[in-house]
A and B are shown apart, each in its own frame.
Chain A
């Protein structure tokens, strides 16, 4: 190609990308809302990093900007902490004041709703990258909230399909005493009914307080857990619902009967795992490790997915306009590649990102659901979670 011709071509490219101001890249500002409180976990390995989630979004911003170089688009991220005493609505509006119309949120359900409802009049759209509550996609769904985090029911269904495929149909369900644990147990009961699991007995593990780490705790735990799990009816697998990090990780290898553990410990359903390397995930993991010197978590992946959805919509529509981007994401043409072996897309009835669920044991990905044989008339991904005919969501 001759030089003048190449220049002409570049000029045409730039014109196509940005008809008014060819030199300046189109700017897409993304906000990020998160809670600063650290989460205490039983296992040191699972203690989230300070930038848990945020790092995933930053990774996607890098990826978007690499692509943006070719399309004259630039992406930036504005991180805002929402403390226990802070008003999430005010935080969302201050991001709007700074020009961020798209906000990735890693917030508890109620805070998320406050931020979303406050921002609606300003045209804000939130990407829920943290809260797994089904109600946010059901009775409390919002037209301006897109969910990249899976729901409890999607996680429970992903696990249940595998347990049933494995012919481990008899489950001993152990539930923690906190509200989130009970919600997870609801999802597990629902999954048992849908896929043919049988809960032979339920037990509640009361949180009586106390520290999660002590210098000689293991001695007591080794005595407590066998006693707690003895005299159970015959079962194939113990399913634990413990989002509060009180007991589940104490269960493996300590149950009275030698049985595998699943749910909140053992075989855990998740949107991402540090050991996941299939379908090009290896490159994602390497890229993340090189940039942040730590492994990528589920929340990182959920935030990455949100920021990549924005980037993907921006490159497809060649637009930096938030409404144009969101309309495209909601449309039938939108798909996201996220290293899970198939395309992800939005459920139009509640704006939940369809996605496979990984089943990981902390060292390996054991399987990926939906399992073979669980069929669906629209998408096999819709065998996971609450489906359109049963939804309570009415987007308005």
Chain B
């Protein structure tokens, strides 16, 4: 009994050390038409915000004051006050917005419009569209270089990563990747952009200077048929050492040595794991599990799943407040 109490004491101490910083994680629930707010210190859901139809892509403004969420079936992006959780406005996103990227200036938002093969550029302060870029069929994933100069858009049926010069709004490079590219993520130093191919089952590591695939990462899980390994969300630590890739209906997150590109292990999470976000201190990684209606929390240092948190129906995207 004493040893148990001692262990418990150590456990609690470790837990409180690991979660010293409290942030808020916002999870968009595609079917529930809600956002679940999670306290990242307590690791529990503390509030549910009602939003428009089919919320998917979600991000926070740089000042942390507003949450932006794509509500695709309402053909708009809703702006939510992060303190009051009231919807305070909408953005002219074009039809069926799904994913977007916010520029480092905190003001320019790039939105993928799947229905009309366009990327729409919006000024979120004035809430007006600034322009459009024609891309491939079914634009989806959006990634911005850390300096904001290069935008990567993936088109799901054209199967390319389009590199767009944000100053001229012109395509400067097209890189063919495996079928149905879903998500694009730059390394923090801008040296690489990683693009996941859901149907192709791979991640292409692209050199954004040469517009060339320098490495294709594939996945093998014993006993798992290859059709169910569908990479979607990608998270790369700021030091560029580790990458985490959500594998969809394979119900696992791959942990990859981001220098050697070797897959180190697969973490079992919930069903149809989709997108992910790090806490700002990068101690924790939150991943959304669409079919099992929960979020798995991964301890980044130990590379272990430490908790599942029930959220709304079909959780899709996740964003975590900077403070």
Contact = CB atoms under 8 A, between A and B. Distances in A.
B136 A70 contact: yes
Contact of B157 (A63, A282, A335, A379): A63
B179 A67 contact: no
Contacts of B178: 335
Interface in B104-158: 114-115, 117, 136-138, 155-158
Interface string B197-233: 0111100000000010000000000000101101000
A191 to B, nearest CB: 22
A342 B136 contact: no
Interface residues of A, number: 29
A67 B136 CA distance: 6
B115 A283 contact: yes
Interface string A60-103: 00010011001100000000000000000000000000000000
Contacts of A337: 156-157, 159, 179-180, 198-200
Contact of B200 (A70, A282, A315, A335): A335
Nearest to A340: B199
A283 B115 CA distance: 6
Contact of A380 (B96, B158, B227): B227
Contacts, number: 81
A336 B179 contact: yes
Nearest to A342: B227
A1 interface: yes
Interface in A299-331: 308, 312, 315-316
A287 interface: yes
Contacts of A9: 172-173, 211
Given A67-B160, A283-B114, A337-B180, A343 B227 contact: yes
Interface in B24-53: none
B174 interface: yes
Given A315-B176, A336-B179, A381 B156 contact: no
A239 B180 CA distance: 36
A71 B165 CA distance: 19
A280 interface: yes
A125 to B, nearest CB: 21
Given A335-B199, A380-B227, A66 B176 contact: no
Contacts of A376: 225
Contacts of B159: 67, 312, 315, 337
Contacts of A63: 137, 157-158
A343 B201 contact: yes
Contacts of B228: 342
B31 to A, nearest CB: 12
A46 interface: no
A363 interface: no
A159 to B, nearest CB: 21
Residue picked from B117, B137, B180, most chain A C-beta under 10 Å: B137
Contacts of A166: none
Contacts of A224: none
A286 interface: yes
A1 B136 CA distance: 22
Contacts of B158: 63, 66-67, 70, 315
A308 B156 CA distance: 13
A6 B170 CA distance: 11
Contacts of A380: 225, 227
A265 B262 CA distance: 51
A342 B172 contact: no
Interface string A138-168: 0000000000000000000000000000000
Given A67-B157, A315-B158, A337-B157, 19 more contacts: A1-B172, A13-B173, A67-B155, A70-B162, A70-B171, A70-B174, A283-B96, A283-B115, A312-B159, A335-B179, A337-B156, A337-B180, A337-B200, A341-B249, A342-B199, A342-B230, A343-B179, A380-B225, A380-B227
10 contacts: A66-B136, A67-B137, A70-B158, A280-B114, A312-B179, A315-B159, A337-B179, A337-B198, A341-B249, A343-B199
Interface of A: 1, 6, 9, 13, 63, 66-67, 70-71, 280, 282-283, 286-287, 290, 308, 312, 315-316, 335-337, 341-343, 376, 379-381
